[in-house]
Amino acid sequence: MKPSINCFIPFAGKAQTLQTIQGLQEANIVKQIYLLATEPINEEIDGCKVIIVPGINATATIRAIADYSDSDYTLFYTKYTTLELGLFALERMIHIARDSNAGMVYADHYQIVGDAKTNAPVISYQLGSLRDDFNFGSVLLYKVTALKETVERLKTDYQFAGLYDLRLKLSQKAPLVHINEYLYSEIENDIRKSGEKIFDYVDPKNRGVQIEMEQACTEYLKEIGGYLSPKFSKIEFNATDFEYEASVIIPVRNRVRTIEDAIKSVLKQKTTFKFNLIIIDNFSTDRTTEVINKYNSDERLLHIIPSRKDLGIGGCWNIGVHHEKCGKFAIQLDSDDVYKDENTLQTMVNAFYEQNCAMVVGTYMMTDFNMNMIAPGVIDHKEWTPDNGRNNALRINGLGAPRAFYTPVLRNINVPNTSYGEDYALGLNFSRHYQIGRVYDVVYLCRRWEDNSDASLDIVKMNGHNTYKDRIRTWELQARIALNKK
């Protein structure tokens, strides 16, 4: 007996849906097509039924889909643009779903922008894939029995986090399986570069969405034993073998256009304590080294060219942090960026003592190369709350800036020798045991320009970065579950 599918697609107008509907109707295993509309549709569309829903991500919509699912499988298309299925794509998805006993399958696909069709591979789901913006593509195929069982376990009615909540709860009892085959094409309207998308989740206008996502993630962590209550190890700050109270650490390679601004912003700092600047010059091949050498007469600047040639950003940090001249507190400054004014170091160090924390995260402002504010403006990462920041950190994709660390703890942990995600790994590791302090005043300017490392990543590099961060979350989540069991 052939399996059957009910299809649910969002409706934004007849012209938008007709081609998608036609493609679905040509598949002889499709039992019924439902249009998800936010208001009544004035005209009938042959072969389709209409369901009025509040929005495609709402819990009420998820419940409606489960209620109307009277087939073996349910297809949920999550875009308001045209979907074009590949030859026997639905049959293939069902075949894999059966073989893997998946609760949901998703697939690589093509994206169409204008007349161009490009590959859009996605990545495999793992325990640490907790980002609410994890990219499954737009075609989600659920096993109906798993879908209905999961919907019965939904506890909260969300406006924005319903689909995210469903995914988390479904993954507790059934695998979410990635089919690394190109099974469909979708029209893509968001053509921004990777560097323009990465701050969407911290855009202030999305704050209501983030609150719901945090609630859903926290509930999930409690259910799987990965939640940590707000109980932290205290820091005595009694280390006395430091010549300097604080060190600014700048790893750099080929940043001749920006490194001098970074240096100047450090050397102008006004503090009540002794500080220095440690620059790890990772074999620059432009004039970066020459620019740094202009400041070698300042005894506060330590210019290090490593003996090793296998260091990423994290490895350069380890060279600086383990240097005998490193201060009690190590404070980050990227070679592209600058401190907002002469008070940043004092503000960050004060926060350690005032909040009794092993790590401090500041607030930054997005700027262009000339340091004029650009959207989304001020990034304050308010999800780093004292009560729940250590848990919500598993859902978000970044920590904020500048980041500062109590050096004795950092020397015990060490920084992963990578050039992406190393700071995030530290934040998760620190927060497992220690409070993360917060500074909500803007103390840092994050410059966006064409040479940023994440300004324009291709899909393969972006997937590699996301996979690594998911692995970091997986390792951390496993460690927290084990810690709770003890």
| Band of pLDDT at residue 153, cut at 50, 70 and 90 | very high
pLDDT value at position 453?
Answer: 63
In angstroms, the CA 262 to CA 371 distance is 12
pLDDT digits (tens, 9 = 90+) for 29-88: 999 999 999 999 988 898 899 999 999 999 999 999 999 999 999 999 999 999 999 999
Q: Average pLDDT, whole number, for the chain?
A: 93
pLDDT recorded at residue 42: 86
User: What backbone torsions phi and psi does residue 295 show, to the nearest 5 degrees?
Assistant: -110, 10
User: pLDDT tens digits for 400-421?
Assistant: 999 999 999 999 999 999 999 9
DSSP bridge pairs for 442: 363
Section 155-160 average pLDDT: 97
Report if pTM > 0.85.
Answer: yes
Q: Above 90 in pLDDT, residue 191?
A: no
Q: Rounded mean pLDDT of 145-171? A: 98
pLDDT at site 364: 96
Counting residues of the chain whose pLDDT is more than 90, the rounded percentage is 86
Determine contact, residues 7/72, Cβ cutoff 8 Å: no
- For residues 448 and 366, is the Cβ–Cβ distance under 8 A? yes
pLDDT value of residue 205: 56
Has residue 194 got a pLDDT over 50?
no
How high is the pLDDT of residue 193? 53
pLDDT value of position 189: 61
What is the Cα–Cα distance from 233 to 220, expressed in whole angstroms? 25
Picking from 397, 481, 444, the residue whose alpha carbon sits closest to that of residue 131 is 397
- What is the per-residue pLDDT for 455? 57
Contact (Cβ atoms closer than 8 angstroms) between residue 51 and residue 36:
yes
Of residues 208 and 227, the one with the higher pLDDT is 227
What pLDDT sits at residue 242? 97
Query: In the prediction, which pLDDT does 201 show?
Result: 46
Task: Report the 10 Å Cβ neighbour count for 272.
Answer: 8
pLDDT at 325: 98
Cα(415)–Cα(318) distance, rounded to whole angstroms?
A: 6
Tens-place pLDDT, residues 420-456: 999 999 999 999 999 999 999 999 999 998 877 655 6
Cα(305)–Cα(146) distance, integer angstroms: 56
Q: How far is CA 275 from CA 96, 111, 338, 357, 423, in A?
A: 59, 51, 17, 20, 22
